[in-house]
Chain A
Amino acid sequence: MTVLERLARLAVWTIGLAVCVYLMVPLFVTVAVSFSASPVFDLPPPSWSLRWYEALGSKRGFLPSLSLSVQIALISTGISLVLGTLTAIAVVKGRFPGRTAISTFVVSPLMMPGLVIGIALLQFLREIGYRDAYTGLILGHVIVTLPFIMRTVQASLSLFDFTLIDAARTLGLSYPKAVVKVLVPVLSPAYLSSGLFAFLASMDNYPISIFLTDARNKTLPIQVLEYLEVRPDPTIAAISSLLILLTIIVLVISDRLVGLRRMTDF
């Protein structure tokens, strides 16, 4: 190895590790603040306590918001899994014109301004006289979650040999049964990683939700920002730390099931 190569490798490793630390900073801050006894976000905390975790249950609005966000994220991810798989099969297997256009179209909400999608959807729903905030949120969140599923499932399907389904049918399975028995197991890693990304994207969505919520249906990010603007205290850090813990559990399970490395087939 020449000196130049050594230097380049050193630079790559240094930047890589620095990026890791940089990415983890907000998490460390959040967890540290959540165990702080001080209400004013002093870092490092003057002393430690569990008071913000104890406060979680008594703070009105947080648990309902968390539960609403989880429901919306689960339902919209579920709908997107179905719609995304069907569209991905059509795009990968079909031989009709415009397949690239369909794929670009379905993935495009990922790159579109969320606020604009939110306003457009709100005005459309108002125009047709639809007023239910809960289903409105689901309708909006399917738009955000679908691109994640579509991208990953399409990439995964492009490596799939569709003649396997014909083989299963020759062996006596009906078409739907053949799809379930052959295709779904092949797609499960893609489902796991894209489902996780879609779920987290929905949980975190602010720009679309802000236009679709009402007083009784506030998703977690909206509740949190409102709370931060009025009187911030580390209760938010406590609820976020619980979400970090939950994600760690999901990641450990995913690692056992399919391996972390496949999670990045993004």
Chain B
Amino acid sequence: MNNRPNFSREIIQLQNIDEVVESICEKLRDDVFKRFRRQGAVIGVSGGIDSSVTLALAVKAFGADKILAVMLPETDSSPDSEALARQLTDKFKVKAIVENISGALDGFGCYSRRDEAVKRVIPEYNPAIDKMKVIIPKEFVGKNLPPVHYVAVVFADGTEKQARLPLNEYLQIVASSNFKQRSRASMLYYHAEALHYAVIGTPNKHEVQQGFFVKYGDGAADVMPIGNLFKTQVYQIARYLGVPDEIIKRPPTTDTYTAEQTQEEFFYQMPFEEMDLFWYGWEQGYSPDEVGSVMGKSADEVLKIYRNFERKKKTTDYLRTPPVHNYLN
């Protein structure tokens, strides 16, 4: 029999945080300096917890003078994002620049293609004054069916209307919104190549494993130092490295659509503190009974959560797969 510990709410807490941070930094230096032979790091900073911790780790690994932080706002970005990102780069004494990508997005037709699809579902939507977001209604949580997305329009008078997205409209909204992450990646690689630096990616373990990233968008990077860390652990490192409190306290948002929304509402469907533990339980093979007794859920409910994880991992395999090139031996 194995000697693994009993499942508990504390099981994923990092015990020797200084050693964990040092180990990540050592690998960062090995990968960026020795393996890739790049002179420093470019990081897109959003004022969110993941990019802030990534920057803090990079500062510790490479030194502040070898880092360029790039803020990449666009028309739909929350103004808070830039202010928080600025607070972060000031605190860590990192050179920061702002690259507004709205013009590029206009050129791609990002906003017009998205709004055209929204209007086909909710014709009253006026993008000049109304706001929109894509959500998974709470009724879909805990079902054995995959989630179906809805578009929600928040009208200028504060009223809201939701409608289920048919396949073509859903795909068009996602495809147009993904111009944002891909334009950001293009800009980050511009600066990385101009400086002979590497691009440091910011996705965490859930984003990587559940496919909550855009292929060749925020999924485009040379290294992803927090890609194997649970969100709980990201917050632990944030406190350890001195990320500003305002960033730590801010709820994780997508900052993708015009209306405000949390990542929980858009994608994960449960608070990250719980998701971390369920994912760990599933990944490590803890029984639904054992996990359920700690988390206050029935074994059947935990089993449904496990199945949902399995489904997400399987259906997003495409996103994590690099181009297949070995066609002829």
Are chains A and B native binding partners rather than an unrelated pairing? no
Chain A residues within 8 Å of B, Cβ to Cβ:
none
